[in-house]
Structure 1
Amino acid sequence: MRERPPARRRPSTLAAMDALAALLTGPRARGAFLLRSVFDPPWSLRIEDRAPLTVLTTVRGDGWIVPDDGAPVPLRTGDLAIVRGPEPYTVADRPETAPQVVIHPGQVSTTVGGERLCETLDQGVRTWGTARDAATVLLSGSYALHGEVGGRLLRALPQVLRLPAEEWSSPLPALLEAEIGRDEPGQEVVLDRLLDLLLISALRCWFSRDARHAPAWHRAHSDAVVGRALGLLHGDPARAWTVHDLAAETGVSRAALARRFTDLVGEPPMAYLTEWRLAQAADLLAEPDATLAAVARRVGYGSGFALSAAFKRVRGLSPQQFRDRAAAAAG
């Protein structure tokens, strides 16, 4: 009787998770602030809302993003920009136009002198400015990310990331504009998901356009060995991984994997895994009902004590201290 050949093992969906997908799993919009801004020149908005991440795209007209420290960045019709906070910046028709409106935390708008403008400039559902038929139409979506998983992504970005219209094309801005003025049941969820898709598409395009822009973990994903190792770690961080296990899964020796991983990612596999586990733990600790023991199990630590010791060793503060700070920052 002929012996059957061994069954071919199918790659798991967990192992297939790439670095960008893993990082974008955490920062999902939940009630993101989306707005259509309509202004005739000259106009200038001082943004001091401390939002960690804002997506901007111009539907009509041109403008500029002016960081406090850095060169002005043009924003032409059809361009898309991602602005990393919480540092303040200005969006205006021209770099030299003095601010007329200040956007504060909670999306409260005032004059430079402090007079409230929210009601004065209201132009209907999620539309705000001087006139609905104004020369400039700007769509914006602001995230409120407080988890460390999002923080790892944010640290990979410049303060202002711009994708010119001629280098990036997507139907998503038009869909977002069509939906942003609607007031229907479930509309908030629809807008959140459209904003997520727009962000993911833009980041994928930007990371792929020039390898110099991409962080090491994204560049390493294209490597057959290290990319698979990253997928395994991201997909199942709670597993009791060793370098031997990763090497067996990727088909190379332990020494070869350790050397290749460190060269491409910038740190050894187990150090990367520790940071990824603690990043996920930090994100989970932001949930008010999550217990330390439950978080420990989800990210691969045998007990709350073990997680607490690792957290304090790497982050310099206990999980409870981190949770208190996160709650204060969110407040």
Structure 2
Amino acid sequence: MDVVSDAIAAVRIGQPSSNRVRGSGSWCTRLAPYDGAGFHVVLKGGCWLLPDGGAPVSLRTGDAVLLPHGTGHVLADSPADPATVRHAVPFEPWLAERWPHEPPAAHDEVEMLCGKYRLDRSRAHPLMTELPKVVHLPHRVGSHPELRAAIDLLGRELDARRPGSCIAVPSLLDLFFVYMIRSWMAEGAAGVWPAVLSDPVTTAALRALHSDPAAAWTIDRLAAEAGVSRPTLTRRFTGLVGRPPMTYLTWWRLTLAATLLRDTDEPLAAIARRVGYGTPYALSHAFKREFGATPGRYRAETAQRSED
């Protein structure tokens, strides 16, 4: 596994959802803050996104926007004034009025893909937490062929109920999420983790740790894997990631254990082996020290939240 894949897998839960929506004339709808991530892709026309506490964003045909922290926002036909925003129609009733009943074609019609992902932020990788409030790829989406292909395929799958669409749509949404993050990083995004993943030494060490977190890693072995001396690895890794390599490894092992506790029914002994702990007791002790709860309690609490 690579770091981006692992960072997404650690927080993603359940199935993503999406809708193809249309609006014309004067309209304004609000999407409440969400414990996950939202996205919009403009297929036709244009509109405005007004994030809570942020500047308005103009969206045009071909634009893709990701709200990775579930920020509440308004979508409108124009950069609406505060009074209009306060009276924006909640998204679900607004959507029910417009779909599946298609409004007559209009010259000012906008057509979008709108959706969201469920995320567990309690164990988020720092790569995910440092994403900006709004990731906007204006028009330049055409310069990212994988993202463009995912958007085109999504539009076709949502346009008509085809055999297998219940599997195809969530899978395409997962691809879209990955491609949005990848495209954001490729655009020269500012931040710690784009810099981390552009450094060959740190990237080699991270790839080794994420590929086999249960291995008997030492700083010497990891330095050899990265092809540098131990002091060089420690200096570059710590300077970029913000924690020494072995400290990062411990944190990632426990984060991975939390993910397995949440997503599987594997016994604690099996999870301990998968994340590099010799006994369930050793994992339990480290887990409680890091997260303030025993593995059993954590599993029960996450199962309860999922049911709620």
SS at match of 2:65: strand
3-state SS, counterpart of residue 213 of structure 2: coil
In the alignment, which of 113, 133, 152 is matched to residue 139 of structure 1? 113
Please name the residue that 1:10 is paired with.
none
Which residue matches 2:73? 89
CA contact (8 A) 1:18 1:221 kept: no
Matching of residues 36-185 of structure 1 within 5 Å: 36-48=20-32, 50-96=34-80, 97-98=84-85, 99-103=87-91, 109-110=92-93, 118=96, 120-123=97-100, 131=103, 133=105, 135-146=109-120, 152-166=126-140, 168-169=142-143, 170-185=148-163
Q: Structure 1 or 2: larger helix share?
A: 2
SS in 2 for 1:210: coil
Partner of 1:255: 231
With over 3 angstroms needed to count, the CA separation of the structure-2 counterparts of 1:184 and 1:51, relative to structure 1, is farther
Residue of structure 2 in register with 1:5 after alignment: none
For residues 52 and 197 of structure 2, the distance between their equivalents in structure 1, rounded to whole angstroms, comes to 34
Contact 1:29–1:195 (Cα < 8 Å) also in 2: no
Q: CA deviation at 1:190?
A: 1.0
* Structure 2: segments with no counterpart, 5+ residues: none
TM-score, L = length of structure 2: 0.86
Residues 148 and 279, structure 1, Cα contact 8 Å, conserved in 2: no
Amino acid paired to 1:199: F
Aligned partners of 2:169 and 2:276: how far apart in 1? 34
CA distance in 1, matches of 2:2, 2:195: 11
Rounded to whole Å, the distance in 2 between the matches of 1:329 and 1:152 is 23
**Distance in structure 1 (CA, Å) of the matches to 2:175 and 2:275:** 27
- Displacement of 1:207 in angstroms is 0.9
Number of the residue aligned with 1:222: 198
Alpha-carbon offset, residue 237 of structure 1 = 0.6
Q: Report the CA distance between 1:304 and its aligned residue.
A: 2.2
Asked whether the 8 Å contact 1:176–1:191 carries over to 2, the reply is yes
CA distance in 2, matches of 1:95, 1:308: 52
Greater shift in the superposed pair: 84-93 or 25-34? 25-34
In the alignment, what sits opposite 2:246?
A: 270
Per-residue deviation, 1:288:
5.4
CA distance in 1, matches of 2:11, 2:25: 34
Q: Determine the C-alpha separation between the residues in 1 that align with 2:70 and 2:302.
A: 15
- Number of residues of Structure 1 aligned to a counterpart in Structure 2: 297
Structure 1: distance between partners of 2:57 and 2:32: 18
Note if 1:209 corresponds to 2:187. yes
Q: Distance in 1 between matches of 2:283 and 2:104?
A: 53
**What runs of 5+ residues in structure 1 fail to find an aligned partner?**
1-16, 104-108, 112-116, 125-129
CA distance in 1, matches of 2:304, 2:293: 15
Decide whether the 8 Å contact of 1:29 with 1:196 is kept in 2: no
Percent identity reads 38
What's the CA shift string for 1:234-277, capped at 9, x where partnerless?
11111121111101222322222212211122110011111211
Tell whether the 8 Å contact from 1:147 to 1:286 is kept in structure 2 after alignment. no
Please report how far the alpha carbon of residue 94 of structure 1 lies from its aligned counterpart in structure 2 after TM superposition.
2.2
SS of residue in 2 equivalent to 1:59: strand
Cα separation, partners in 2 of 1:45 and 1:204, compared to 1, 3 Å: same
Deviation at 1:79, TM superposition (A): 0.6
Q: 1:190 to 1:152 in 2, by over 3 A?
A: farther
Q: TM-score, normalised by structure 1?
A: 0.80
| Structure 2: distance between partners of 1:171 and 1:140 | 17
Change (3 A) 1:284 1:274: same
Q: Call closer, same or farther: CA 1:171–1:132 in 2, change over 3 Å.
A: farther
**Aligned-residue offset at 1:147:** 6.7
Cα distance change on mapping 1:188 and 1:140 into 2, 3 Å = same
